[in-house]
C-alpha cells in the first residue's frame, strides 16, 4: 500500500509500505480522508519523544471497514485505544485511561491507504456523512471537550461570557465555531498568521487580532481558551481573564512556565487543563458536525496523500491559510 511515512525530523516520504494485517479484535480500515494535526506537525519537527521515525502518523480519519466486525461500514475512530476496565474508563473518562495507546504514535496511523485499529475504538457515523466533516471529528471533539469543561466552571451560562481564543489553528477555529453555535456573542481570536486571521474572521464572524501587535486587554474576558499552550499565550491568558473567570488550557506547545499564582489566587481564577476527548465527546461531536453545528467547513483544504510532503512543508512555513488540511489516499 502507499503511505506517507515520517522518516526523519522535517521529512515525510510517500512510499510503498507493507499492508497491515489485522490481529484478533482489530478492524482493517481503508482510509478515505485524514487530517494533519498540530501534534503531527510537532512530531514532524522532531519535538515529540513519543513519536519516533519511521512512523506513519495521522489520527483524524474517516474510512470504510474492509475486514473485521461491521465490515462495509464507513466510520471514524477514537485515536486513543483504551483498556475499558481501569477506573478512568469505568468513569467514562477514558481519555485518562492508564493503559491507553494511540494510533499514529504507538502504532501506525492513518496517512496510508490502510490502517488497523481496535474494533472497540470505532466510532459510528451516519453513512451519508461527508468525508470532510467526519474527518474533523477528532479535532472538533477536542474543542467540544474543552468548551464543556469551561461551561461547567463558569459562574454564569456560557452564552453570556466574553471569550478570548488564543490561536487560530484547527482547535481555535473549531472552538470559535462551536462557541458561536452555542450562542456566545463576544469572541476575540488572537492569531499571528495573517492569512489564517482572515480565514477565521470569514468563517466565524469573530473579531480577530494579531497578538504580535496588540494583546487582549487585562481582566477583560470571562473565558480564555488557550489553543496554543506556549509560555507567551499562558501569560496572556492569565492576564486577560477577568477575576472569577476561567482559563482552559488545550494546546501544549511549551511544557512548563511560570504562572501568576498571585492573580490565580486573589482573583479566584479557574485554570483547567483539558486533554483530547472521551468516547462520549466523540459521539456528541459526530452528531454536532452532521447537524452543521460547525458550519459548512469550506475553510478545510483537501489534497491527495501523494502530495502530503508539500502539505507538511506548507504548514511548517505558515503558507497555508487553512487551519486544517485533509489528505486523501485515493
* Binding status of residue 82 toward Zn ion by CB under 5 A: yes
CA distances (Å), 211 to each of 147, 277, 317, in order?
22, 28, 19
Sole window of 63-71, 75-83, 231-239, 271-279 interacting with Zn ion (rule: CB under 5 A): 75-83
Q: Which is nearer to Zn ion, 149 or 235 (CB)?
A: 149
Whether residue 165 contacts residue 282, with contact meaning beta carbons closer than 8 Å, is answered with no
- Backbone CA torsion sign across 12, 18, 23, 27: positive
172-194 burial code (b ≥16 CB/10 A, e <16): bbbbbbbbbeeebebbbbbbebe
Q: By CB under 5 A, which span of 2-10, 54-62, 144-152, 255-263 interacts with Zn ion?
A: 54-62
Q: Which of 1, 30, 41, 86 binds Zn ion (CB under 5 A)?
A: 86
**Binding of residue 327 to Zn ion (CB under 5 A):** no
Q: Which is nearer to Zn ion, 39 or 270 (CB)?
A: 39
Nearer to Zn ion, 60 or 301 (CB): 60
Closer residue to Zn ion in complex, CB, 26/94: 94
For the CB of residue 237, give the shortest distance to Zn ion in the complex, in Å.
21
Query: Who contacts 14 (Cβ-Cβ below 8 Å, separation ≥6)?
Result: 2, 3, 4, 5, 305, 306, 308, 309
Q: How far is the CB of 101 from Zn ion (least distance, A)?
A: 11
Interface stretch with Zn ion, choices 93-101, 212-220, 227-235, 257-265 (CB under 5 A): 93-101
CA atoms within 13 A on the CB side of 4: 31
Give Cα separations from 197 to 168, 200, 205, 212, 249 (angstroms).
7, 5, 11, 13, 21
Q: Is 76 in the site for Zn ion (CB under 5 A)?
A: no
- Those residues whose C-beta lies under 8 Å from the C-beta of residue 284, and which sit 6 or more positions away, are 141, 144
User: With contacts defined by CB under 5 A, how many residues of the chain interact with Zn ion?
Assistant: 7
141 binds Zn ion, rule: CB under 5 A? no
Smallest separation, CB 223 to Zn ion (Å): 22
Contact flag: residue 116 with Zn ion (CB under 5 A): no
- Regarding 97 and contact with Zn ion (CB under 5 A), the answer is yes
Nearest residue (CB) to Zn ion, 141 versus 238:
141
Name which position in 37, 77, 103, 305 contacts Zn ion (CB under 5 A): 37
CA distance 101 to 103: 7
DSSP state of 20: P
Cell numbers for 119 = 474494533
Decide: is 118 part of the binding site for Zn ion (CB under 5 A): no
- Interface with Zn ion by CB under 5 A: which residues? 37, 60, 82-83, 86, 89, 97
Amino acid at each position: 500500500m502507499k503511505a506517507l511515512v515520517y522518516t526523519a525530523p522535517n521529512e515525510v516520504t510517500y512510499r510503498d509500505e507493507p499492508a497491515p494485517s489485522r490481529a484478533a479484535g482489530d478492524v482493517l480500515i481503508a482510509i478515505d480522508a485524514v487530517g494533519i494535526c498540530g501534534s503531527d506537525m510537532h512530531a514532524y519537527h522532531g519535538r515529540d519523544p513519543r513519536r519516533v521515525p519511521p512512523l506513519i502518523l495521522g489520527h483524524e480519519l474517516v474510512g470504510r471497514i474492509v475486514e473485521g466486525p461491521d465490515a462495509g461500514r464507513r466510520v471514524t475512530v477514537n485515536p486513543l485505544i483504551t483498556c475499558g476496565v481501569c477506573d478512568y474508563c469505568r468513569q467514562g473518562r477514558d481519555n485518562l485511561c492508564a493503559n491507553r495507546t494511540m494510533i499514529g504514535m504507538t502504532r501506525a496511523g492513518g496517512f496510508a491507504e490502510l490502517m488497523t485499529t481496535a474494533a472497540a475504538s470505532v466510532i459510528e457515523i451516519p453513512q451519508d456523512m461527508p468525508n470532510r466533516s467526519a474527518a474533523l471529528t477528532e479535532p472538533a471533539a477536542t474543542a467540544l471537550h474543552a468548551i464543556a469543561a469551561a461551561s461547567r466552571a463558569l459562574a454564569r451560562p456560557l452564552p453570556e461570557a466574553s471569550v478570548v481564543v488564543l490561536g487560530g489553528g484547527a482547535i481555535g477555529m473549531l472552538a470559535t465555531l462551536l462557541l458561536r453555535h452555542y450562542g456566545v456573542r463576544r469572541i476575540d481570536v488572537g492569531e499571528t498568521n495573517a492569512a489564517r486571521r482572515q480565514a477565521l474572521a470569514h468563517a466565524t464572524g469573530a473579531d480577530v487580532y494579531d497578538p504580535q501587535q496588540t494583546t487582549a486587554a487585562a481582566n477583560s474576558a470571562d473565558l480564555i481558551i488557550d489553543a496554543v499552550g506556549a509560555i507567551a499565550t499562558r501569560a496572556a491568558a492569565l492576564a486577560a481573564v477577568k477575576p472569577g473567570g476561567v482559563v482552559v488550557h488545550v494546546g501544549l506547545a511549551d511544557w512548563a512556565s511560570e504562572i501568576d499564582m498571585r492573580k490565580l489566587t486573589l482573583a479566584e481564577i479557574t485554570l483547567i487543563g483539558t486533554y483530547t476527548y472521551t468516547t462520549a465527546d466523540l459521539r456528541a461531536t459526530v452528531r454536532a458536525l452532521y447537524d452543521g453545528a460547525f458550519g459548512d467547513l469550506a475553510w478545510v483544504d483537501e489534497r491527495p496523500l501523494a502530495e502530503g510532503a508539500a502539505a507538511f512543508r506548507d504548514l511548517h512555513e505558515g503558507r497555508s491559510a487553512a487551519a486544517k488540511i485533509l489528505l486523501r489516499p485515493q
